[in-house]
Amino acid sequence: MKGGIYIRRIPIEDFSGLEDYLYAAREYVKIPAANCLLIDKCALSYDFMLAIVKVGKRMLLLSECGTGSSGYVFCETKLIMELNYASIEEALTDTHWNEPLQKEIREIDSLAYGLYCDLRR
């Protein structure tokens, strides 16, 4: 439990709703940018983007995703996290104070950056 919400990583076998977007033996997703609720730079590392997409009833956070001129967002499946927000507005307004940066940071930025750091250790 973090920031008052429940979060979890998507189990690697739970690709329900993502079947049409899976590539390279289920290692990547390729989602049309028009299907994303948000595509933004991560406030904790401007080196990568994050995105939020709604698939059925699930809201998914894509960490360290890439965008191209083709109009798609690409992300490794191991960098996808399920969020428990009722709306994109709720996801955008859930913030906390970041002491090193001395400013409010969205929880989704912390989650995306934390997931990326945990997997790259």
Per residue in 51-72, pLDDT (tens digit) is: 999 999 899 999 999 987 789 9
Per residue in 23-32, pLDDT (tens digit) is: 888 899 999 9
List the end-to-end C-alpha distance of the chain, in Å, as a whole number. Answer: 23
Shortest CA distance to 68 belongs to which of 110, 39, 38?
39
Q: Phi and psi (nearest 5°) for 88?
A: -65, -35
Between the alpha carbon of residue 60 and those of residues 29, 53, 82, 86, 121, the distances in Å are 12, 5, 5, 12, 23
Q: What is the pTM of this model?
A: 0.86
